[in-house]
Amino acid sequence: MTTHTPSPTRWAERPPQDWAVIAAWGTLAAALPSAVWRLLMIAGMLPGTEALRRLHEGEGGYVLALSITQVLAAILVVGLVRPWGERFAGIDISRWVPVVLGTLGGIVMTWLFTISMVLGLLQGQRPDQGSVHDGALVLIVIAYAPMLLFGPMTLVATAGYALRRTSPVTGSRSVRQ
């Protein structure tokens, strides 16, 4: 009988690659600083960001949703290297869903943060519209710099997942779905 259930035994036979685990957890580590910074800024808890907060007045819901979405996306990337990332509500997840979504998400995040943002900065465009200075500017750079790696690390974790889920398990007569 062929089974596609990622049981503990099958998971142990096919653990994620170390490099994929590092990339997946790195994605979460890259997402957290900017999400927390954004929430603290909009809540008025970061000195030196008053002008930026005024620029985004009335957008608290958007900022909250953006931060939550960013962290949830990173948690889903961690699912690529955890057993819970292969099943949802007791149902096996087709390997193609995470591969397609992870690839698309990784490409989009690479474009937004690794390419587009860097090109904008090189052209003198600042996401804060020049409203943050001194120590507050240093803090925003520190919080957002890890996002440069979000997309590439997502792509690496997705590649690891795809390799692990599409290759047959040694000694098994079935190929994992």
pLDDT digits (tens, 9 = 90+) for 9-54: 556 678 999 999 999 999 999 999 999 999 999 999 999 999 999 9
Whole-model pTM: value is 0.86
Report if residue 32 sits inside a domain: yes
DSSP for the chain, written as a single string: -------HHHHHHSPPPHHHHHHHHHHHHHHHHHHHHHHHHHTT-STT-HHHHHHTTT-HHHHHHHHHHHHHHHHHHHGGGSGGGSEETTEEPPTHHHHHHHHHHHHHHIIIIIIIHHHHHHTT--TTTT---HHHHHHHHHHHGGGGGHHHHHHHHHHHHHHHHHSPPTT-SS---
177 belongs to a structural domain: no
| pLDDT tens-digit readout, 71-119 | 999 999 999 999 988 888 888 888 899 999 999 999 999 999 999 999 9
Task: Look at the chain and report how many structural domains it folds into.
Answer: 1
Average of per-residue pLDDT across 111-131: 93
Q: What is the pLDDT of residues 134-153, one digit of tens each?
A: 999 999 999 999 999 999 99
Residue 10 lies in a domain: no
Residue 4 is assigned to a structural domain of this protein: no
Specify if 145 maps to a domain. Answer: yes
Domain range holding 79? 16-166
75 inside domain? yes
